[in-house]
Amino acid sequence: MKILGSMALAGVLGYLPGVSAAQAVQLTLAWDPSTSPNVGGYVLYYGHASRNYTDSVDVGDQTQYTLTDLETGTTYYFAIVAYDTTQTIRSDFSNEVYYPALTTSPKANLESPTQGSFESGIGLIRGWVCQAGAVEIQIDGGARVQAAYGTTRGDTVEVCGDADNGFGYTFNWNRLGNGSHNLRAFADGVEFANVNFTVTTLGVEYLEGVSGEFILSNFPATGNDIAVRWSEPHQNFVIVNGQANSH
């Protein structure tokens, strides 16, 4: 009768420090080498249930491996098995590590400004984030500023499971000056939006003491007119006759 040898466990499995959860559906795992003298390599096992691995990859004689095709939104469990140089003897599974629901980015949306939009006057940088300690805005690579966060947005319940997800930051676009600008939004430091937009000013940061009312023809439909009036608090024009008049 032949007695099979045994392989020492492949040590403690863990994540490589510095790997960011939010960065991607990519995860690098590392483990201490087996203390057996004749280690031939390792098999990394993983799956969605503890100690029930549905996938594996023979990583050869290395002690770290990067999985690049993990699905988002589901938890993964990992363990390592060592095998010997003849590939006939295998160790038991190592300790198990799990990784909670991988996400590529926070569940979040920047609603305004949008990519390619035109901005003028005083506006609201707004959107929603399902869960964050802080929502920050960065314009043209400047300092990140914290937006007000946690206002009720009933329309996000379906996506987020709760409603306290609105964020907003009032901003005078005139401060940026005419031209193209960039805005990035972050939830707990993780970027979830990056848009370029165009600002048009009237030459000053806050225009005072002017008035004007103008008719826009054929809006919102052919044959309809609306009136817009300069509004100093908005630093913009507002519609003053919501009822479209027929010719």
Residues within the interface to Ca ion (CB under 5 A): 131, 162, 164-165
Q: Which residue, 30 or 108, is less far from Ca ion as judged by CB? A: 108
Q: Which residue, 10 or 135, is less far from Ca ion as judged by CB? A: 135
Q: Which residue, 55 or 111, is less far from Ca ion as judged by CB? A: 111
Q: Write phi, then psi, for 176 (nearest 5 degrees).
A: -85, -20
Least distance to Ca ion, CB of residue 117, Å: 26
Least distance to Ca ion, CB of residue 136, Å: 17
Q: Which residue, 162 or 213, is less far from Ca ion as judged by CB? A: 162
Residue nearest to Ca ion (CB): 162
Q: How far is it, in rounded angstroms, from Cα 229 to Cα 170?
A: 21
Least distance to Ca ion, CB of residue 103, Å: 15
Report angle CA 195, 196, 200 to the nearest 5 degrees.
135
Q: Which residue, 57 or 157, is less far from Ca ion as judged by CB? A: 157
Least distance to Ca ion, CB of residue 150, Å: 8
Q: How far is it, in rounded angstroms, from Cα 239 to Cα 101?
A: 46
Least distance to Ca ion, CB of residue 131, Å: 5
Q: How far is it, in rounded angstroms, from Cα 140 to Cα 181?
A: 6
Characterise 189 by phi-psi region: left (phi > 0), alpha (psi -120 to 50), beta (else).
left
Q: Which residue, 112 or 131, is less far from Ca ion as judged by CB? A: 131
Least distance to Ca ion, CB of residue 142, Å: 27
